[in-house]
Structure 1
């Protein structure tokens, strides 16, 4: 007999009377597929051929040969047939005991002959509805059991991605398919292909059709239909196993991994139904989540391993604490620097590991202890001295920052560095620098009086030795040397005032810059007789210290004459710009411009250019530093630029002096 059309229930009519069978077919009408048997033994034999099973059996109770009672007992005795729906036909005068016995041996319902067609149809419909509900419940129970097994298997697989995929295809093949294969594309994972088939342990032929394709669900009426609709790639598989259903679905349903799942239902099976596809998608979703968990687990494991390696080999100590102060981690350097931190347990207990003080020796109270600070979200940096019991003191530099998770305080991270040596060097440098500055002040102050006496004495001698040329020459040299020494002493005193005191003192008076500059040029011209000076001065008046300004401008003009190209004029320009007096001294360069790195330190003390080092070794390299400090004392600015066009020193002074 041909296969029943889809969606039409298959009804077996088992009755020894052809007339009764015809009446039954007519009573049920269209919408059913019928198969008729004249004897119970024929029906039993047909069941055992494993062909299409009936949805309901209409069984005459009294038949020659194998009776309806015996057929019913046989069906219920075999598990594979035990769920078949059976309605028995009885005679109109059948005893109640016979009906009870028929229901007891497995009949689902009965209809008395002669029957009313509407009653027969109603009872058949009721039995079919019951069967549909029972089948749906069985499918759901099977699906849930399979999902439960898959869930346990995926949990056991952990982060083993190949095992996860194998559990997926095995579960799908056992639940809804004859064959299942998966291909994972290369990306976050290495390419993986897994396939299982009910009839072929190697699944070689299934693997040959498990390729990348657009997602779709196919249903075929038979192998010929599949051959006609699918490309040649699938034909060997169809010819070998037949094909009723083909499902191609993406794996997973979200990034980062991409792959394809291929499922088949072969010739002896039915096409995939909606419930089947739902079960497949649920299994794929489970496996997808398991794969993504495995990827995250592996990424986190790798990140943890890297972080552990970094912390163990970090050159600084790291202490990680929770919001409650519990110490979660202390790396080896931290354990070395803060003796006992690994067993303290909390930051509060760590305070008792030794004595804590500031670098200047002041004890630190527990409530001011800096460990664990940072709840305000800012980085806190400070130094303190830690002295373990019976151990040497260490100067530790601490940097504490906050750890936050989802905008909530999760704890702190403290970086610790041993700066004992650096601190000792810094203290020593400060002491040496202070001593040097004090010595400069002392030397400058103590030398000034003897030098003044020498200058005064030579002046007196000079007045009486004009008629003695040889003595006059000696006196002149002594006076020149004394003035130069006095200048050096004055510079040393200015440096000392600038660096140790309140800055260079000023004697403020009203000054007109133009005449002051011209007077300086007139004084310096005889010294640099081969240089040409050009003064371009506006009438700019302000309140400044005239002697100090003369010192600044004289130094700039002298430098321009000494280091510049004397074949070209040295220009001194005086202007006023937006309430600021500007004096610019510019000269053409003799060789190359001043390098940028030298310009950056030009106004630091004891700095001299390369030219001055070879040609003017008598200076201390303090002139520009003192000039800069004098301008700064006026709340002004001194800058320098040097290009191939020339070198320019620019002095900017506020004109109004009320702020002094």
Structure 2
């Protein structure tokens, strides 16, 4: 029974003898022929995939067979490639000893008996494959163990966790991989390849692909989306293995792994080991997400306690004192009116705090801020809010410009957005400076840009990244009395309309841009 197909190199300066050797070994293998020792040495040092066996003639021009064999054994990559030495002239016992000392695995004299050569070749290939399988299993177990330790050392850092998974997959199993992770707050993409260029090209692949195999590059180019073409043309793809990261509803994780060479496709044991790596990574990501959720919940609870104990206690204390004064028989009518006004202000303050807490709580438990869209004149709405803000900020000049835009939004919620952004611009901007509000429309999206002139340095990059998080307050000392929920609620309202908000701060000023899709056009 013939051995499974193998990839064999035949090195012989005689084309005829090389053909005879190939025929003797069997036509079900694949072969590459070399005419001299120098050629095979050059190929062995540059090729990605080494052969299963080398049949090496001893006497050749240039490098002889024993010299080639010594070179192969001196190089770590080629040290374990089986070599059969063939010769018609060096058949003495001393020659046989030299052949084995140079590193040959077997020695066959010419003319050889076909059955004997075939049996020796099959035995060497079988033994080499058994050794490779054992080495491969050791590599799989080692990779899983090293990944387990690395995930523990990642200490809940999701970027580090994904990076360790990518490193393990590429170092042990595949040529390249792309890992995507998306949850409710952010998305991550990690690409890794054996080469820097390969990682670059993988980042450009957009569409997820199912597990599939390709006969050659032409088939891959035909069947894959255009974003994969640069990778296929430069590196080739013979296999894509597509697997989900098991994160059990906390996030959507997906891994695509690429094999660039037809001789190194994944077997069932590789797939099982990769599944184990993904399972371990999924557990680490789950733990990281749950720990972060617990930290956020604890921080949220602490902030709520602070609000109840301080922000609500202050107006309640003012109301209590006011009630005591009203009960006093010595209070005159003017004083009573002033006390009632203060009590009313305290009530309004408490209602505002409660409304904000309700909004943020709905958002945190996944319900989101509710909106009731209807036909709205955006320009008129902005102008109305600005008229009210002029009373609160008499020293600030407000300038509204842009298009007259009609769309379908919740006008009350949008007033909340504009009032917060423009009020902040006036409050945190330079005294007596102008606040500009520009309204525009492009591609069925309305944009509101609020720009102020800053007092000192631009907002730091670190603060910009957390500006829309709950309980984040302005850095100016005189403006730390708010709850720090305004911009968070603004973002949630914008998201509820299917829009987006961004902020940019430079020495020329700070700009907030709100983009709102038009659900209906005027």
Q: Give the TM-score of the pair, scaled to structure 1.
A: 0.42
Shift of 1:92: 8.5
Shift of 1:312: 12
Distance 1:258 1:311, change over 3 A: same
Shift of 1:71: 1.6
Does residue 1:85 correspond to 2:82, yes or no? yes
CA deviations 1:521-540 (Å, max 9, x no partner) are: xxxxxxxxxxxxxxxxxxxx
Distance (Å, rounded) in 1 between the aligned partners of 2:287 and 2:48: 45
Does residue 1:99 correspond to 2:96, yes or no? yes
Aligned to 1:39: 36
Shift of 1:304: 6.6
Q: Quote the RMSD (CA, aligned, Å).
A: 3.4
Distance (Å, rounded) in 1 between the aligned partners of 2:70 and 2:213: 37
Shift of 1:284: 0.9
Does residue 1:147 correspond to 2:144, yes or no? yes
Distance (Å, rounded) in 2 between the aligned partners of 1:49 and 1:313: 68
Does residue 1:276 correspond to 2:273, yes or no? no
Distance 1:256 1:129, change over 3 A: same
Distance (Å, rounded) in 1 between the aligned partners of 2:279 and 2:229: 30
Distance (Å, rounded) in 2 between the aligned partners of 1:77 and 1:137: 22
1:441-520 mapped onto 2 (5 Å cutoff): none
2:108 aligns to what SS in structure 1?
strand
Distance (Å, rounded) in 1 between the aligned partners of 2:54 and 2:268: 27
Does residue 1:123 correspond to 2:117, yes or no? no
Aligned to 2:289: 295
Distance (Å, rounded) in 2 between the aligned partners of 1:174 and 1:107: 30
Q: Give the TM-score of the pair, scaled to structure 2.
A: 0.52
Aligned to 2:9: 12
Instruction: Identify the structure with bigger relative contact order (alpha carbons < 8 Å, sequence gap 6+).
Output: 2
Shift of 1:37: 3.2
Distance (Å, rounded) in 2 between the aligned partners of 1:118 and 1:179: 42
Aligned to 2:179: 182
| Residue 202 (structure 2) aligned to one of 206, 211, 229 | 206
1:115 aligns to what SS in structure 2?
coil
| Residue 196 (structure 1) aligned to one of 185, 192, 195 | 192
Aligned to 1:251: 245
CA deviations 1:378-431 (Å, max 9, x no partner) are: xxxxxxxxxxxxxxxxxxxxxxxxxxxxxxxxxxxxxxxxxxxxxxxxxxxxxx
2:211 aligns to what SS in structure 1?
strand
**Is the contact between residue 183 and residue 250 of structure 2 (CA under 8 Å) also seen in structure 1?**
no
Distance 1:227 1:308, change over 3 A: closer
**Is the contact between residue 247 and residue 283 of structure 2 (CA under 8 Å) also seen in structure 1?**
no
Distance (Å, rounded) in 1 between the aligned partners of 2:35 and 2:304: 86
Shift of 1:125: 0.7
Shift of 1:93: 7.9
Does residue 1:73 correspond to 2:70, yes or no? yes
CA deviations 1:205-257 (Å, max 9, x no partner) are: 423324455xx322222221101122334334323443222222111264333
Aligned to 1:30: 27
Distance (Å, rounded) in 2 between the aligned partners of 1:12 and 1:203: 32
Q: Unmatched 5+ residue regions in structure 1? A: 1-6, 316-660
Distance (Å, rounded) in 1 between the aligned partners of 2:59 and 2:164: 52
Distance (Å, rounded) in 2 between the aligned partners of 1:61 and 1:192: 56
**Is the contact between residue 247 and residue 285 of structure 2 (CA under 8 Å) also seen in structure 1?**
no
The number of residue pairs the alignment matches comes to: 306
Distance 1:179 1:90, change over 3 A: closer
